[in-house]
Amino acid sequence: MSETNISNSSYGDMANTITNYTVATMQTDGVSGQKETEWQNTNWGQQLGYYKKLPELRAAVDALAT
């Protein structure tokens, strides 16, 4: 069975296997006039606790990450 725990993920040498592509930039319909938009998740500690303590939630998040 495959490993689905996101904390055990690893990566290989991608330098010689992936071709780099470039595209022209476009203006989105998002926030403009500011250099940076920030958002801080004030519930992150609670949500991480749910992930660590609830195996059903962990399985769902790990499956999505896979």
Of residues 3 and 53, more confidently modeled? 53
Residue type, 51: Y
What's the chain's average pLDDT? 81
**Is residue 47 a contact partner of residue 41, using CB atoms and an 8 Å limit?**
yes
Question: What pLDDT shows up at residue 62?
Answer: 94
Structure token digits, residue 6: 């996101």
Question: What pLDDT shows up at residue 36?
Answer: 74
Per-residue pLDDT averaged across 1-20, rounded? Answer: 70
Q: Is the pLDDT of residue 3 over 80?
A: no
pTM of the model as a whole:
0.42
Per-residue pLDDT averaged across 20-29, rounded? Answer: 77
